[in-house]
Structure 1
Amino acid sequence: MTRVPNYTNDSAPITFAHPQNFIVFGEMGVGKSSLINLIAGEQVAKSSSGIQSCNLESTEYPIRLSDPQLNVNLFDTVGLDSPTMDSASYLDALVKAHELIVSLKNQGGIHGLLFCIKGGRVSRTIQQNYRLFYEFLCQEKVPLALIVTNLENEVNMDDWWTRNKAHVEKSGVVPVTQVCITTIKGHQNAYENRYLESRKKVHDMLRVLGSAEPYSMDVSSWFARLCRLLPEFLLSAKTLGRSRQKMLRMLTKRCKLRKEDAMQLLQRIDSKEDKY
């Protein structure tokens, strides 16, 4: 995992409470880097091109703000729909996402998932990303906030959620909260007021999510029981345990992975868990 230097908006030493950890995810091009820059108030994250996205490591952005006061670590993950990503790279990205979630147990846990999407219809990729991160990797135990970007041309940015809430939830994406924002100031700062409004919305949301109890994955629980039921060479339709069958069904039916990819993912995560 890459870690950029601490960003603070005050040169004087400041004592911060323990930082809250948030994982930022979403398909490539939805504005994850722009969201991080919005939170920081200046450019600390660079947008990824299709070529750059072949780097599957997450990037940590520690952001320490005194005005408004905010102390967060943002973990930017790779978009799982990159055109340069083959099946093996896709599985690698999922394994690394799981490693990140497990590793945060030693950093205070996870306070929230920030699911970044562009305003529009809910695509299959959006559904798949939601199910993989929220349902599968985080076991539905981490609060998920929906960040809807690209809304600078709305008369009222919050109207997007009023119009689309039923469609989003019918698609299976059910956040605990949502913000409708823009991450750009536009030509000659045409959208500056909306940009500042958006920044305040996101800061307020992070403070609310950060005030709740964080989630720490118990490595000895579900994955350990799940992935160590049988030696890898015994994995077959007849020998799979009930719990593992349930996980395979989630990955194949809910997350739309091929069965062979789902089985390989569980096996590879199992091999990584010995480190923790």
Structure 2
Amino acid sequence: MSNPNIIIFGETGTGKSSVVNMLSDSKLAEESSAAKGCTFESKKYTVTIRGQPYNLWDTAGLNEGEGGTVSHRQAIIKLYELLRSLTDGVNLLMFVMRGPRIKEATKQNWRLFKEIICSNRVPAVIVITGLENEEVLDDWWVRNRAEFDRREICPAGQACIVAIKGKLKGDRHLFQYDYDESKKKVESLIRTASLSLAWKVERAEWFRTILRDVREEYGEALKQLVERCEMSEGEAKALAQSLKNIDDQES
């Protein structure tokens, strides 16, 4: 039986690799706090949670901008290629974002992968990092939940965490307690939210519909990318063509 696959995605600098390292109790993944991401290709790391091995897939950061290692469209394409390559399917999407603010790109990226590419068939959870200044970590979610509801982002679960230990103070790191509790939170999230039977990401016939819409009229498929994911019509068409090309190569 294959290990469950957990896809970790989100913007650059949100702490995806730090979450991997926290779960593995080691420095498996390269970390970077810079705007330019350090993960280009998707990388698999196997961790064990309460006796169950899981495959964690650390992916290229979204929304790096023109100066980044990977353009936004490249990052989307690479993530789609990963999802399509997992013949044993996907068990959970883990969207990592950084507090204390919610960016508009959060909604776009969440909807694109959960609603469009994974057709709402794979549960998605949110892990919020960068909360070292919060006295009670979970208070952040209490204060901000209405903003997620307003953006129609409804995760299967969430964890407000600290993904770094901080400076060493005597024989203990500054954020050690919150770090240890955060690890337990994310482990529990993975165990409770993951599909017991993985879902295989299907061919992007949906994107072929977009291209047909472009030729004929402003159809429903294209409208979803433009309105739900807040892309321009040009961005939606270019992305659809790129994803169609991936599927054509598999044919």
TM-score, normalized by length of structure 1? 0.79
> Is 1:39 aligned to 2:36, yes or no?
no
Structure 2 residue aligned with 1:184, among 137, 147, 164? 164
- Offset at 1:68? 3.6
Between Structure 1 and Structure 2, whose CA radius of gyration is higher? 1
**SS of equivalent to 2:71:** helix
Gaps of 5+ in 1: 1-16
Rounded to whole Å, the distance in 1 between the matches of 2:214 and 2:66 is 32
Which of 239, 256, 259 is matched with 2:216 structurally? 239
Residue 85 of structure 1: how far off its partner (Å): 5.3
Change (3 A) 1:159 1:123: same
Q: Does 1:98 align with 2:72?
A: no
Q: Tell me what 1:12 maps to.
A: none
Does the C-alpha gap of structure 1 residues 69 and 274 become closer, same or farther in structure 2, counting only changes over 3 Å? same
Amino acid at match of 2:139: D
The alignment partner of 1:274 has SS state of: helix
- The alpha-carbon distance between structure 1 residues 260 and 185, as it changes in their structure 2 partners (threshold 3 A), is same
Using the alignment, how far apart are the partners of 1:128 and 1:35 within structure 2? 22
| Structure 2 partner of 1:269 | 243
> Please, which moves more after superposition, 204-213 or 164-173?
204-213
Structure 1 residue identity aligned to 2:45: Y
Report the count of equivalent residues. 244
Alignment of 1:1-276 (within 5 A): 18-48=2-32, 49-51=34-36, 53=38, 56-63=40-47, 65=48, 68-84=50-66, 89-104=71-86, 106=87, 108-188=88-168, 189-210=173-194, 212-219=196-203, 223-224=204-205, 226-227=207-208, 237=214, 239-240=216-217, 245-276=219-250
Which ranges in structure 2 are unaligned for 5 or more consecutive residues? Answer: none
TM-score by length of 2: 0.87
Contact 1:18 1:71 in 2 (8 A): no
Q: Is the 8 A contact 1:30 1:116 kept in 2?
A: yes
Deviations 1:194-242 (A, max 9, x none): 11111111111111233532211232xxx23651x69x7xx575625x8
Change (3 A) 1:152 1:266: same
Q: 1:114/1:44 Cα in 2 relative to 1: closer, same or farther (>3 Å)?
A: same
